[in-house]
Structure 1
């Protein structure tokens, strides 16, 4: 059984929201934030929130102040970083901390993970470049995370296909999935199978980084 809690906290840029799904016997916690085009109700964040706590990983979703305020346009990267840091500082996990996010939220996680003491970063649908503009690469943010990083990328992501990522990137590829990590209605494998791959891939990464004793792995 898992429990859900929700709270709102002030940041230097207005209030943000924290929604936590706790595990009865946690051995890690994964903090996730959303992208510029959606909120914490994004499909992939919902899938991980439903699946990981059953496996011993608490999931905390962070809603940025711009989203809490009902705005349609995301804040500048520096504002996102400061807001995320302020909200994560309210958490007091007693188990190893992982930081992650989807799309623009994955960029925030890569920029702030090490400073926040994370033992790993989970980058969902990392926007390696704007669609059709591969010369505007954001690989430096990914490579500069400073902690082990897992990329979960859709095979058809127009913000960067798996083959475009730097050599050696630790990655879970979701067959047929787009930037939302969703597949077409009649795709094979179907959405349920792809969602299972998402949960399994993230769980394996966390488990590899953290021994069940609760200490960071090599």
Structure 2
């Protein structure tokens, strides 16, 4: 497998490196990933964003494709990890599906990976609450930060409180946030406020485990 299309942003006097994986429907250059990455770079972290193979193909020919199956997604992330400079503490981060891939691969990773960060973890497919995707978060042996919207349709706060997850998982809920961490106007919060809150949690997590 050739190396996927990637974008590396270097911070001044970087304290850690973050590999940031995209979700099922949006590529590495989506507004969400770009916004979060820029804030983290300004906070002193290197950020590497990349596309999974199916997304590169989608961008090449314009045809919509479903995500590759998990083994291929894991293989791609493993290649990105193998190719990255590990002179700084390394963290895996993902939006939705990307977080699931990161949590899946972390179980079999070496000590170079300090922790996993999931932004809107897909605990189950939309409108399929019985089809749970908990295993990566039950068997993982690395610290995990999950930043989740209260009303995420792929795993709300009420649902998650009934799940059995590893004690290494730390959950942070954003009031009225959806799967993109976005609140409704009537909540009194803005999307940017929630993204800023997520960034603060990520900073604390990385400093704790670097």
TM-score, length-normalised on structure 1? Answer: 0.84
Stretches of structure 1 lacking an aligned partner (at least 5 in a row): 1-11, 211-218
Hey, what's the Cα distance between the residues in 2 that align with 1:150 and 1:106? 10
Q: 1:185 Cα shift?
A: 4.5
Moved more, 28-37 or 168-177: 168-177
Look up the match of 1:85. 78
Relative distance call for 1:180 and 1:42 in structure 2 (3 A) is farther
Secondary structure at 2:5's aligned position in 1? Answer: strand
Moved more, 181-190 or 154-163: 181-190
1:136 matches 2:136? no
Name the count of aligned residue pairs.
198
Moved more, 127-136 or 93-102: 127-136
**What does residue range 63-212 of structure 1 map to in structure 2 within 5 Å?**
63-70=51-58, 71-72=63-64, 73-114=66-107, 115=109, 117-165=112-160, 166=163, 168=167, 169-185=169-185, 187-210=187-210
Stretches of structure 2 lacking an aligned partner (at least 5 in a row): none
Query: Deviation per CA, 1:61-100, whole angstroms, max 9, x where unpaired?
Result: 1211111122522111111111111122111131100011
Relative distance call for 1:15 and 1:96 in structure 2 (3 A) is closer
Hey, what's the Cα distance between the residues in 1 that align with 2:37 and 2:147? 16
Over aligned residue pairs, what C-alpha RMSD do you find? 1.8
Secondary structure at 1:123's aligned position in 2? Answer: strand
Hey, what's the Cα distance between the residues in 1 that align with 2:130 and 2:117? 24
Q: 1:150 Cα shift?
A: 0.4
Hey, what's the Cα distance between the residues in 2 that align with 1:176 and 1:89? 38
